[in-house]
Amino acid sequence: MRILFILLMLVFLVGCIALVTAILLQKKRSAGGMGSIAGMGNVADTYWDKNKKRSAEGALETYTKIGAAVLAVLAVVLCLPIF
């Protein structure tokens, strides 16, 4: 049981490093500038906005969400009293 705990802890640490790297690789999101103050919000539906999920940036965002969820579950499992 101790070996399983050590293995899960190593997976958790590697996952944390990978998640931090994925977050740092993402582009910074702007708040919208003057458009959000004037009530314009997301008026510009460009080709890039519509196809963002298919790009590498969209894939990185999806992997970040999945990785964060997996790490949260793994953190709960590691805190269980079975170890």
**For the residues 45-61, what does the mean pLDDT come to?**
78
What is the pTM (predicted TM-score) of this model?
0.71
Residue 81: both structure tokens together: 């009293």
Q: Where are the beta strands (DSSP E) in the chain?
A: none
Note every long-range contact of 42-49, with CB atoms under 8 Å and residues 24 or more positions apart, other chains counting: none
Tell me the pLDDT tens digit for each residue of 20-52: 999 999 988 765 555 556 555 555 567 766 777
